[in-house]
Structures are given as structure tokens and as C-alpha cells.
Amino acid sequence: MSDNPSIKVSVIVATRNRSDLLPRCLAAIEKQTLRQWECVVVDDGSSAEHLAQYESIFSQLDGRFRWLRPPGPACPGTSPAAGRNRGIRATTAPIVAFCDDDDWWIADDHLEQAVRCMEKTGADLYIGNMRGEGDGKVKIPEWFPDSPWLRAGPFIEGSDGVRSVTPEALARTMRHHYPHPNCIVAKRSLVEGAGMFWEKQRHGEDMEFSLRMGDAAESILFRDKPVVAFGLPTGKKSSFHDSTRIDHRLVVAMGMLHVASLARRRCFRKTALSIHAHLNQELANLVSKEGRRKTAAGFAFRGWVSYPTAGGFVRWIKHAAAAVR
């Protein structure tokens, strides 16, 4: 744990068996124009082969990088949420940032802009834009399309395109596009006060965390410029089977109920329930394809009850009618 008072930002990177991708992530952190940071890489049980390669990687880095080794090679993984939380607890800087091992910051002034604007305005949550890259190409130019309310606030004087954002604007945006932790910079007091990452959720923990952060924040900033490249899966075909899609949506839906139960702002509670309803409608369609029509009707009903809309009611009636045929 660093006790250097000059350190302004703790950067948390969770990794497991990605010694081929991690150097790109760390090189981007090392290029940051703000120099007063520390970076903690939390290993969540990499194999002996990858641990040896990590040893080589860290031998070439300066003292601002620390590697939290696992108890032994190939340990059972605890989850990205638990790994990030270990990194948070192992650091002390007043501001916390995140980057996944297969992603990388593309704006060298990402931390500098975040810290400068947060110190100037007193904001406790800063969000940058992001783009998606795969197969060596930019496939998603920006993460928040069709979100004019996110860009409606006033610019911060002297910043490079950083704006103030209302909680209502962020909550509205997050019904369709949520800020990944990669592009979040936040005060430690906010991260810890909001409960850090929810370790009971092994999938979709990013969305759940971002919603709680937005709900708990007192002042929010947004930089429209993409500051992070999100590594998209290579190849054209998805590796998800329908059974995997069902499991994934069940876990994410649980996370949305967790957010709704804790939210202090009505706008974020509504966003969480809206996403929960959408996930239940997707679950209804997936299990219906498997011939489980009564189960599909149940999911459709829960979706409509979570966030009542005319469209949700119609979808429930259709699934209910199919279930009694």
C-alpha cells in the first residue's frame, strides 16, 4: 500500500491469464501526462505459464506499478468484481480509476483532464467516452450515440471538452449505454461509500457498479472525446449459446434489482427497473425458443410488472396466449 501523499490517482487493473494483452494496457497507463499515479494489477489466479510472463513484464516497469500475486498458480478465480475490490483496498490515493487488462486508454491526458476538472469543480464522478475496437479496426466509434442530454450541460472552463452532467441526464443515458469502469474516474470516498463492486455478481458487474456510482454521485462530469479503446471479441460469430445467454441475463437482472433496492434517486431506480424489464423480455424470447412457453410467459409478466408499459403488456399477453395453446 502506497503512503506517498503526492500520489493523486490509484489505477486498478484486474487480470487473469492475459499476459499477451496486459502490456498494451500498462503501456497506455505509463504514457499518461499526469505522473502522480500508482497502478495496482490484481491477478485473479493466472496459470504458472502466465505468471512467469507477468514476472518478466513487471521487471521492466517502474515502481509506480505493483502486482498483487495470487496465492498460487491456477487458483480458482474469484471474479472481476472481487479482484477490483482487492485493488481498491490495497491503495490509498484520493481518486480511483480503472482499466481492464484487454482494454487500453487512448487519450494520454485522460487522468490529467479528470483530476484537473474534478479539483476545479469538486465533482466526485468523471466519465470519458469510449470506442470499441476489434480485428484492428474501430467498430464502435463512440459509446454514447444518440444521447444529446449527455452533451447539454455547460463546458468546464479551460478543459478539453469536459461538461457538467445532471444525474437525470446520466440515468436517461444509461437505459441504453452505460459507462464502463474503464472510462470512470471517481473520488475514493464515492467508490467506498457506494459499496465498491458487488462481489455476488460475477457477470454484468460493470453495469451494476456504474449505476450505483451515478446514483451516489453529487456532481458528475463527462468528456465527449473517446479516452478508452474497448477490446471487442475477434471474429464474427458469438461464442454464446442460448443457455449461456439465459444465465448471463439472469445474473444481470439480479444486479438491476440490487441497484433498484439501494437507489436514492428515482431516476436511477427507474433506469434499473427499465433494464430489468428489458432483460426479462429477452429471457422470455430465449426460453420460448426452447419450447418453455409457460416459463416465457412468467418472464414476460415479470418484465411488465418491473416497468409497466403498453408494449410490455402486449408482449406478456402474447407469451401467455402461446402458453395455453
The domains found in the chain, sorted by start residue, are 9-231 (3.90.550.10), 242-323 (1.25.40)
What is the structure's pLDDT at 325?
78
Phi, psi of 73 (to 5 degrees): -65, 145
Confidence of residue 243 (pLDDT cuts 50, 70, 90): confident
pLDDT band at 233 (very low <50, low <70, confident <90, very high): confident
List the one residue out of 281, 270, 284, 271 whose CA is nearest residue 304: 281
| pLDDT of 294 above 80 | yes
Residue, of 136 and 119, whose pLDDT is higher:
119
The answer to whether 193 and 249 have CB atoms below 8 angstroms apart is no
* Averaged pLDDT of the chain: 94
Give the pLDDT of residue 5: 73
Residue 100 has pLDDT above 90, yes or no: yes
Q: Is residue 143 within 8 Å of residue 155, measured between CB atoms?
A: no
Query: How confident is the model at residue 70, as a pLDDT?
Result: 82
Instruction: Tally the C-alpha atoms within 13 A of residue 310's C-alpha that lie toward its C-beta.
Output: 0
Residue 66 sits at φ, ψ, to 5 deg, of -130, 145
- Using 50, 70 and 90 to split pLDDT, how confident is the model at 78? confident
- Position 203 scores a pLDDT of 86
Q: How many residues are given for the chain?
A: 325
User: Where does the pLDDT of residue 235 fall: very low under 50, low under 70, confident under 90, or very high at 90 and above?
Assistant: low
Average pLDDT over residues 140-156: 94
108 pLDDT exceeds 60? yes
Contacts of 276 (CB under 8 A, 6+ apart): 253, 256, 257, 260, 303, 306, 307
pLDDT at 2: 53
Confidence check: pLDDT of 214 > 80: yes
pLDDT number for residue 191: 98
pLDDT at 240 over 70: no
| Residue 241 scores a pLDDT above 80 | no
Q: Which of 15-29, 74-88, 205-219, 224-238 has the lowest mean pLDDT?
A: 224-238
Cβ–Cβ < 8 Å for 32, 114: no
Angle between helices 310-323 and 293-306 (to 10 degrees): 160
